[in-house]
């Protein structure tokens, strides 16, 4: 009896996968607020604005988060106002919000003045992701201090923040 070694028979297959990118977005559901007691002198209370930033475009182009605001006012016929330079971003935390992400490399130095006027002026960068960073979904949380002089008029002040995200480092 003749025994022959078994021959391996097989096949190869080339696999192709297609990845599609989708979005660069920024959103928040925050309703930030702060309070100050004028009896205690000048103060700089803070508030935070948790943001969800998603970069799943798959391009690695990087991005910039920008901010502007209207001036804090009590409204009405004779409104009381806080100064147009009252608000300052003192720092920003950034963490992955699920899945795998590439943390952003941020080149912004703090503090960053938040521009304000009766009509919101041109926005400024407050956080960025260098090229090939900031990929995935993040919770990005700026902390904003508001200078309140003791000589302010007591009342409820409001301001509208406009926070945006744009492509590019």
pLDDT given at position 48: 98
- Kindly report whether the global pTM for this prediction surpasses the value 0.75: yes
The residues, ordered by sequence, that sit 6+ positions from 3 with a Cβ below 8 Å of its Cβ are none
Report if residue 77 sits inside a domain: yes
**What is the total count of domains within the chain?**
1
Share above pLDDT 90 across residues of the chain, in percent, rounded to a whole number: 84
pLDDT tens, position by position, 108-155: 999 999 999 999 999 999 999 999 999 999 999 999 999 999 999 999
1, pLDDT greater than 80: no
CA 169/CA 37 separation, integer angstroms: 40
> Do 112 and 155 meet the contact criterion of CB atoms below 8 Å apart?
no
CA 155/CA 103 separation, integer angstroms: 41
Report if residue 29 sits inside a domain: no
Distance of CA 153 to the CA centre of its chain: 31
Mean pLDDT, rounded, for 48-54? 97
**102: containing domain:** 42-167
Mean pLDDT, rounded, for 24-30? 94
């Amino acid at each position: 009896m003749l025994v022959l070694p078994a021959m391996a028979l097989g096949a190869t297959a080339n696999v192709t996968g297609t990845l599609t990118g989708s979005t660069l977005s920024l959103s928040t559901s925050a309703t930030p607020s702060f309070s100050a007691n004028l009896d205690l002198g000048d103060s700089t209370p803070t508030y935070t604005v948790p943001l969800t930033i998603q970069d799943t475009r798959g391009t690695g182009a990087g991005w910039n988060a920008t901010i502007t605001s209207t001036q804090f006012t009590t409204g009405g016929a004779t409104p009381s106002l806080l100064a147009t330079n009252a608000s300052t971003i003192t720092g920003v935390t950034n963490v992955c919000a699920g899945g795998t992400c590439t943390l952003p490399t941020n080149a912004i130095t703090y503090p960053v003045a938040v521009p304000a006027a009766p009509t919101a002026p041109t926005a400024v960068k407050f956080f960025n992701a260098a090229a090939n960073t900031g990929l995935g979904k993040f919770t990005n949380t700026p902390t904003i201090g508001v200078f309140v002089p003791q000589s302010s008029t007591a009342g409820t002040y409001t301001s509208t923040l406009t926070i945006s995200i744009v492509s590019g480092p």
